[in-house]
Structure 1
Amino acid sequence: MAADLSFREAQTALELCLAQLQDQELDVESMADLYRRALAYAERCESVLQQVEQQVMQWDPTEPELAPTPYVP
């Protein structure tokens, strides 16, 4: 199910669906199914991006536990 995928997994699945949709030999039913799956993967990607955007907008750099850790070689 697309809702359970990570962003990278959904993006890869979307790319695979789009590549398959370019196949000239697909029947109409297969095209419709691939289109629905591609749409679900695209929506999952958008959902993950929106969640990350919300987290970034809510991030408070003054909270010590959330502040980035300096790199020490």
Structure 2
Amino acid sequence: MMMSTWIKIEPTRDCYRFYAISLASDFFNAYVVSCEWGRIGAKKLRRKVTVFNSLDEAMTQLKHEESLRIKHQYQPV
């Protein structure tokens, strides 16, 4: 399993966000990219799960999600 965590903190804008991206394989030889995000410390969060048949496709999606975090000024943890 592979995981990357990102945060964006801007106190002047009351912005305290996190974004976590994980890659794992399941029992059926599929690859699962899971994204969770929300406000740091909040009890509720949002989740998006995507299943891929190949590791290359899953890695492409993971890199895409990471590039979006960089574009939106998140910092890796």
Q: Which has the higher contact order (CA 8 A, sep 6+)?
A: 1
TM-score normalised by L of structure 2? 0.30
Larger radius of gyration between Structure 1 and Structure 2:
1
Between Structure 1 and Structure 2, the one with more strand by share is 2
